[in-house]
């Protein structure tokens, strides 16, 4: 039997490729791995410990907040507070970013952006949810506390990104810009073990993922593209957790689309902690991620923490095809 490689071993091993690395990024990634195990434990027992249901509030972008969203958010912050590698956190569940108070954290080189629990509407019905994260190197003096500029960086400045999918098994996928690797949690060992080495997305694919219930709210070009997917006998698969839907498309090949709608004229997903990390992963797997202006998601300027963006990402051929539909059907004056 081949010897297993744990996430921690893998991260340490990768650090050797960078002779001047100080180990802080590796430390931060390992801390995220531990925080993920804690969130995983609670997601699995949510029904038992009475943290299902609504918290009674709405978050920055108007979504109803589930108790488990807040729990995951608090656990991640708590873990980072004690780690010393992360200077601040911007999260879907926080109106403003927070600075981590300890001296080591204050002077850390990195900040974290996170969607602590993605797909919350699925929690109460036992369907897969996820966590999305991205890490930026600070642009301000790291002898001082972090500032908003450290967070408002385009996705092309991410030094690492990843997601955790709490599904039939729990898997952590991450990249530091040099390919993508995936680790499945072995519950008997309590370790993430390397299971998807050098992950690549198929260039073509037979799946499309979109909330087709909004069909009549989409632009003409999007409706024509959906018709084309249907005409091509592609399968529609939509869980309603971006992490799960994108993960399927990475493994089997496909496209995920969350376009503008009449209700959400800027799209629904948040660029900083949803679109950018997922776009970096997909690109690093060999796919493409663009917005409805056909701009590369990772190059779009980020001007506020909860900025929204339409997004289309997945297998290269399918994203290219969507682009052709926009060029063909979008009215000239738009």
**Considering beta carbons, is residue 177 or 265 the nearer one to ligand AHG?**
265
Q: How far apart are CA 79 and CA 75, in angstroms?
A: 6
69 is catalytic: yes
Quote the least distance from Cβ 118 to ligand AHG, whole Å: 4
Contact set with ligand AHG (CB under 6 A): 63, 92, 115, 118-120, 211, 240-242, 258, 268
Instruction: Determine if 118 is a binding residue for Mn ion (CB under 5 A).
Output: yes
**Considering beta carbons, is residue 147 or 238 the nearer one to ligand AHG?**
238
Instruction: Determine if 245 is a binding residue for Mn ion (CB under 5 A).
Output: no
274 is catalytic: yes
Partner whose binding site includes residue 63, from ligand AHG, Mn ion, none (CB under 5 to 8 Å by kind): ligand AHG
81 is catalytic: no
Element at 221 (helix H, strand E): helix 220-231
Quote the least distance from Cβ 106 to Mn ion, whole Å: 27
**Considering beta carbons, is residue 118 or 221 the nearer one to ligand AHG?**
118
Among 25, 28, 29, 92, the active-site one is 92
Element at 56 (helix H, strand E): strand 54-58
9 is catalytic: no
**Considering beta carbons, is residue 108 or 242 the nearer one to ligand AHG?**
242
227 is catalytic: no
CB 151 within 8 A of CB 74: no
Instruction: Determine if 221 is a binding residue for Mn ion (CB under 5 A).
Output: no
Quote the least distance from Cβ 268 to ligand AHG, whole Å: 6
117 is catalytic: yes
Diameter of the chain measured on Cα atoms: 62
Q: Which residues contact 315 (CB under 8 A, 6 or more apart)?
A: 201, 202, 203, 204, 205, 249, 253, 254, 255, 287, 288
Q: What's the Cα-to-Cα distance from 215 to each of 7, 209, 229, 320, rounded to whole Å? A: 41, 13, 13, 21
Q: How far apart are CA 321 and CA 249, in angstroms?
A: 16
Q: Which segment (115-123, 147-155, 299-307, 310-318) binds Mn ion by CB under 5 A?
A: 115-123
Q: Quote the crossing angle between the two packed helices 24-45 and 67-81, to the nearest 10°.
A: 150
Cα dihedral sign, 177-257-322-330: negative
Element at 67 (helix H, strand E): helix 67-81
Beta bridge partner(s), residue 314: 255, 288
Quote the least distance from Cβ 37 to Mn ion, whole Å: 19
Partner whose binding site includes residue 107, from Mn ion, ligand AHG, none (CB under 5 to 8 Å by kind): none
Instruction: Determine if 115 is a binding residue for Mn ion (CB under 5 A).
Output: yes
Partner whose binding site includes residue 89, from ligand AHG, Mn ion, none (CB under 5 to 8 Å by kind): none
Quick one: CA torsion of 89, 175, 36, 300, rounded to 10 degrees?
A: 40
Q: Which segment (77-85, 109-117, 316-324, 326-334) binds Mn ion by CB under 5 A?
A: 109-117
**Considering beta carbons, is residue 115 or 219 the nearer one to Mn ion?**
115
On the 0-12 / 13-18 / 19+ scale of CB atoms within 10 A, 111 is buried
Place of tokens 């040099």: 178
**Considering beta carbons, is residue 120 or 195 the nearer one to ligand AHG?**
120
Give me the active site residues, please. 63, 69, 92-93, 115, 117-118, 274
Q: Which residues lie near Mn ion (CB under 5 A)?
A: 92, 115, 117-118
């Amino acid at each position: 039997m081949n010897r297993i490689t744990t996430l921690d071993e893998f991260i340490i091993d990768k650090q050797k490729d960078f002779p001047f690395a100080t180990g802080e990024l590796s430390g931060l990634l390992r801390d995220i791995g531990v925080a993920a195990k804690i969130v995983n434990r609670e997601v699995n027992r949510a029904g038992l410990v009475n943290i299902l249901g609504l918290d009674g509030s709405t978050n920055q972008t108007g979504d109803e907040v589930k108790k488990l969203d807040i729990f995951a958010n608090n656990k991640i912050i708590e873990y980072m507070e004690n780690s010393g590698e992360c200077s601040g956190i911007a999260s879907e569940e926080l109106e403003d970013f927070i600075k981590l108070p300890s001296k080591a954290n204050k002077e850390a080189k990195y900040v974290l952006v996170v969607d602590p629990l993605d797909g919350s509407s699925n929690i109460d019905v036992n369907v897969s949810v996820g966590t999305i994260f991205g890490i930026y190197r600070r642009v301000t003096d790291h002898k001082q506390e972090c500032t908003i500029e450290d967070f408002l960086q385009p996705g092309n400045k991410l030094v690492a990104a990843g997601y955790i999918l709490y599904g039939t098994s729990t898997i952590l996928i991450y990249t530091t810009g040099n390919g993508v690797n995936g680790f499945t949690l072995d519950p008997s060992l309590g370790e993430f073990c390397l299971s998807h080495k050098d992950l690549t997305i198929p260039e073509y694919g037979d799946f499309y993922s979109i909330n087709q219930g909004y069909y009549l709210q989409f632009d003409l070009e999007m409706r024509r593209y959906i018709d084309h997917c249907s005409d091509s006998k592609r399968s529609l698969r939509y869980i309603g957790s971006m992490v799960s839907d994108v993960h399927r498309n990475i493994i089997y090949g496909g496209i995920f689309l969350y376009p503008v709608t009449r209700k959400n004229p800027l799209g629904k997903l948040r660029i900083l902690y949803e679109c950018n990390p997922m776009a970096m992963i997909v690109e690093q797997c060999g796919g493409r991620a663009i917005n409805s202006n056909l701009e590369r998601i990772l190059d779009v300027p980020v001007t506020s923490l909860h900025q929204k963006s339409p997004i289309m990402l997945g297998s290269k051929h399918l994203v290219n095809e969507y682009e052709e539909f926009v060029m063909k059907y979008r009215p000239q004056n738009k």
